[in-house]
Structure 1
Amino acid sequence: MDPDGDPLFSNGLSVAELAASSNLLQDSWAVISELEPRIDQQHFRLPSPRLEPTTFRSDGSDPVIIKESHFPNYNIIAFVASPVTAGSLQEERDLAPSSEIPDFQFLCSKVNPTFQINRAAVSLFNSLRDKFSRLLEKVLTSAKYKDYLPYVITGHCWGGSIASLFTLRLLNNFDQWRNICPLCITFGSPLLGDSALQQAVSQNSTWDSCFLHVVHKDDSFPRTFLRPPTTDQSPYKPFGTFLLCSDSGGACFEAPESVMKLLMSEIIVRNPEPQNVDYKNAIECLEKGFIYGNCSRLNGQEADSYKAGVTIQVTAVSLEPIQKNEGNDALIEDIVNHERGIIRRKREAFDPVEELRKMTEYLKLLEWYLTICRGNGMGPGYYDRFKNTREGLINNGVEKYKAILTDYWETVVEEADKNHRSSATPLRNRFLFGGTTYRTIVEPLDIAEYYKCGRNDYLNQGRSEHYKLLEQWLKDYRRPFTRVSSPSLKLPHVTEDSCFWAHVEEAIRSCRLLASGGPSHSSGRANLINFEDYVMRLINDRAVSPDIFLEKSSYMQWWREYEEILEKQMMGHSHDSRSQLVRFMREQPWQEFYRHGE
């Protein structure tokens, strides 16, 4: 990196070399080549989006051939569709809105509530929905076994579009934490959707890295939708990594803007007429390392090492000594800026996984603080010690750790909520459980600060949105479980409801309103009855910390004030005998409850 943090070298050539040397391209194209002769052009035609899926079939055959092949280190699923002409592709440039594509609603999020996919590709996919569903289930089932081998999903032209759609469906159901994600490799496929689709895929860096699109410089199909009949800019946008190649070399580009400029530039678009592109030969050339022959063309004329690397990449694709063509200077500068920009954004992107371990250590320190606050059993306890200690006297770095943890989890929740897809879990279990531990330990400290300042009604006026979302996501996670099998996330000496102390503070306020005989005494009585029921439910569920019974705790302060109200019969003459909580507190089984919890 240079002092400004920009990358000094471009790795587009190395990525292309890695792809060629891994045998993934060779094996994928070999499976496609084996299938393509079986497609009879006279029996199939590109499906019209204006026709029903049943019209896609002819002579009892499907418009797409699917084959699964097994290799030592991976499996390949290939989709091969009927060959089509550039003219027919041009006719099928229409985009279908996400509202018409129910199978891909999972791509919608708050950031991208809508998107568009090529209508013909969606229609072709829908025509084989049942077959794709069975194949999807087979792949997901295999991922559960220890001997699971990763999958490569591939296709040529329209087969590549189907491969991309199938991969998206697969990624939505895939456990990225347990298995290697599938890799989609397409050859000469047209762009699939609009900028919103591109953003929906690229906002998940893991998903975006699962797509490698191989495009030969003489192949007109991939850029068909980039040649609109009018002067308006094409709505189609690329996602994933593009390996642009020729018979003498190739290079990879990640920035969507770079890919668009190269596909539409004079360098790539030299022959608008379709040609029979030999991807096998191009792959072999990459494998043999002809790409390095372009390095000599710079002759040391470029001082900027990153720009030199990009120039070599573009030269490798164009087969022209680009440094001699002054008309390409602006193009090179644009590509340099775009490629550098995407690397910079990746580096600066928030990575919750890297920081999670540090956050776990900070939580352990707060748990230790929670333990020592119990002291000799007299209290005041975790919540009240934090609340009653004067500002600036909090020891052990509690305020510091609390601030760091809150900044981290607010960012995690914001990103998860922003990118939350309708059919996906906002947070993986690892983060959901970590967020729950954080919420149960840290939110009581926020409540303490809130009421320390003399404020009221924390639940409606003071609670942070990220706490609400963490709590709701935990409820959503537990909903499918029975009460018995529901996962327990309880911590010792921590009440499961992170808002418990806010309820206690409001109950104390209700006691004082009732004792004062003010106009709100009737509502205060109702609030106290509700609070009794709430506390008794927690006690019965063993979801309350024994520390609430510490002598100097706010809960015990509430109880003493509440007893005075009961003695004055302000809750009604027969309330004492009806209240389970009153009997529980007066008969003092809570002392045994406390000792059992120690």
Structure 2
Amino acid sequence: MFSNEVSPFESREMLATFVSSTPLLPDSWRLCTQANATPFRSFLVHRVASAVYVAFSGVHTAAGSDSSWRSLAPLHTIGGLPLFASRPTREGEDPVMVHAGMLNLFFSLFDSFQNQLLEIVGNKDTKSVVITGHSIGGATASLCTLWLLSYLQSISSSVSILCITYGAPLLGNESFYKTISKERWGGNFCHVVSKHDIMPRLLFAPITSLTTQLNYLLQFWHLSMTSPDFGKLANQISDKEKAKLFTAVMDYLEAATQEGETSVPILFHPFGNYFFVSEEGAVCVDSPAAIIKLMHLMLATSSPASSIEDHLKYGDYVNKMSSQALYQRNSMQRNIPDSSYEAGLQLAIQSSGIANQESAIISAKECLKTTRRMGPSPTLNAASLAVSLSKVVPYRAQIEWYKTWCDEQDDQMGYYDSFKSRGSSSSKRDMKVNINRCKLARFWNNIIDMLERGELPHDFDKRAKWVNTSHFYKLLVEPLDIAEYYGKGMHITKGHYMQHGRERRYEIFDRWWKDKTVSTGREENKERSKFASLTQDSCFWARVEEARDWLNCVRSERDTNKLALLWDKIENFEKYAINLIENKEVSSDVLFKNSSYSIWVGDLRELRQPKAKVQRLPHQFPVF
């Protein structure tokens, strides 16, 4: 086993060759052609054994106003399913946004295919679904794939989904790309882009600026969407207009690929795998920076006329790819570089179709070199993390010992309140626990960063070992984070912990645990005979602190409407806490005499006594 990948370029070219040798591309393109040629049909379905192909037409009337084709829209739900809203984002990140016009088009078609797709994936004979589309149909296919992936994830289905687009325009912003990567869905998308096709590159030019070039861009775009005879209508655009459109896209692509202050921001970002095809072969690339650079270098070898005509030549590329791949490999045998790394790099350059352009070869090599994976493979990273975990287990064990020690003290305060009230004159024991808390936080934050950088296996967050370990860590350590937050008065300046202080790692671990219960089809609902060793709601003490704040507000509030809202919150929390206690889902320290919860119960009882019409507190401490 090698710790480093020897030549990722060769593997990418080999992946492209492998895909070319399967029926995926010919079958999907054949159905795309039929969908484009079928009037009044938004999509076609074709079954091949256990695989089902769904092709969306690229011929549509634009949905929505012209302004929607110049703007972005937020993507919270798709087809009624929450898509990315539940995934925690980093502070300062932009929301997930997609092209408003394409989103409107998708919604206008959704009712027509929703039930049929649900029936397809519900069929026990269906093992895989290939969703495809040409041009604007490719954008619809991508959004449909996201909806279907969300649905299958919610029901824990094993049906595999693959989206293949041909000459599709860009779809979403950088947050859109990053979130798809975090969901580990990038591998479900294969975007086939020909060497000169301008359509996948159109949205690199700014769409918010009402320039002459933008008007040509929109004119071209609407022609491609609304006409079944794209070629004739494309010829209606004069050579001068084509040149302006081509120049606008090229200028912005060139500026976007520059380094330093001369670079310009990119509104739309590629996502998934890009399958670049040319007369010389094909190559797969998944790095957004490399995709953008290759799009620029390949378009630079084009002309305004060919950049438009190439949009209709995907059938030619698909039919020729297999034979060209064989010819390419034979020609490579005549001049094999000494280094396997250089051989792979040369193969990738040749497959991209720019090997004969001397001025572009150096730039292309540098571009591909930046995508080379350095360091250990994801599998080896996961193995080394198992070793690292064994090294931090003693930190966790010391915190467990600290909880046991607190529970045995005569002050009857418990784990949470003892750590919260330790103050500046804390003992060595408290200091050691705090140091261990910080070390564990760094360990888990590092795991999350590695996962999001793609340095760990795609199913890492589904592995029982890591899901269970992270869940136990959260239950054990988050109460200490809450104690630190309120003990230092951070809630006074920032707000309460649940809304303003909770670390992102805990939200991610919540999702891991929830996904586990969904995938197994059951939750841990076994009846307990004694109190839990750790309170099963890791945020329980944060809820107690908010409830204490509500009681203080009740004492000073004079507005009857606000008082009613406060009492509703208090009573809802009271019911929630009693339910946890009756089900023994709390640790015994929750009911200690001097715990924050017990003090809150006493304060609530005193506050209710003067109210003659208010029923007596129905809370009775269980015997334990």
Shorter-chain TM-score range: 0.5 to 0.7
CA contact (8 A) 2:96 2:172 kept: no
Q: For 1:319 and 1:126, how far apart are their aligned partners in 2?
A: 39
Report matched runs for 1:189-268 at 5 Å: 189-193=167-171, 195-196=173-174, 199=177, 203-204=181-182, 206-217=184-195, 222=200, 228-231=245-248, 232-233=251-252, 237-265=269-297
Q: 1:219 to 1:393 in 2, by over 3 A?
A: closer
Please tell me whether residue 374 in structure 1 is matched to residue 407 in structure 2: yes
Please tell me whether residue 318 in structure 1 is matched to residue 315 in structure 2: no
Counterpart for residue 579 of structure 2 = 541
Opposite residue 444 of structure 1, the aligned amino acid is P
Q: 1:243 to 1:466 in 2, by over 3 A?
A: same
SS in 1 for 2:290: helix
Counterpart for residue 138 of structure 1 = 119
Counterpart for residue 321 of structure 2 = 283
- Structure 2 unmatched ranges of 5 or more: 205-242, 254-266, 453-460, 515-521, 558-562
Report matched runs for 1:176-187 at 5 Å: 179=158, 181-187=160-166
Q: For 1:521 and 1:99, how far apart are their aligned partners in 2?
A: 42
- Structure 1 unmatched ranges of 5 or more: 45-60, 418-426, 478-484, 514-519
Report matched runs for 1:420-435 at 5 Å: none
CA contact (8 A) 1:447 1:501 kept: yes
Report matched runs for 1:393-432 at 5 Å: 393-394=428-429, 398-407=433-442
Q: For 1:493 and 1:382, how far apart are their aligned partners in 2?
A: 12
SS in 2 for 1:175: helix
Q: For 1:549 and 1:244, how far apart are their aligned partners in 2?
A: 64
Number of positions where the alignment pairs a residue of Structure 1 with one of Structure 2: 510
Counterpart for residue 383 of structure 1 = 416
Opposite residue 153 of structure 1, the aligned amino acid is I
How far did 1:492 drift? Answer: 0.8
Please tell me whether residue 336 in structure 1 is matched to residue 362 in structure 2: no
Deviation digits for residues 217-248 of structure 1 (CA, Å, limit 9, x no counterpart): 46666556677355451666533222223454
Q: For 2:389 and 2:320, how far apart are their aligned partners in 1?
A: 47
CA contact (8 A) 1:65 1:81 kept: no
Q: For 2:15 and 2:26, how far apart are their aligned partners in 1?
A: 16
CA contact (8 A) 1:190 1:221 kept: yes
Q: 1:447 to 1:202 in 2, by over 3 A?
A: closer
CA contact (8 A) 1:246 1:282 kept: no
Structure with the bigger percentage of helix: 2
Report matched runs for 1:458-497 at 5 Å: 463=497, 465-467=500-502, 492-495=532-535
How far did 1:175 drift? Answer: 0.7
- Structure number with larger C-alpha Rg: 1
Q: For 2:608 and 2:336, how far apart are their aligned partners in 1?
A: 96
Please tell me whether residue 162 in structure 1 is matched to residue 140 in structure 2: yes
Deviation digits for residues 231-266 of structure 1 (CA, Å, limit 9, x no counterpart): 451666533222223454322222233333333336
Counterpart for residue 300 of structure 1 = 337
How far did 1:8 drift? Answer: 6.2
Q: For 2:550 and 2:137, how far apart are their aligned partners in 1?
A: 68
Output the TM-score relative to the length of structure 2.
0.60
Q: For 1:35 and 1:433, how far apart are their aligned partners in 2?
A: 45
How far did 1:127 drift? Answer: 5.2
Counterpart for residue 10 of structure 2 = 13
Counterpart for residue 36 of structure 1 = 33
Counterpart for residue 152 of structure 1 = 130
Q: For 2:136 and 2:608, how far apart are their aligned partners in 1?
A: 77
Opposite residue 233 of structure 1, the aligned amino acid is Y
CA contact (8 A) 2:474 2:509 kept: no
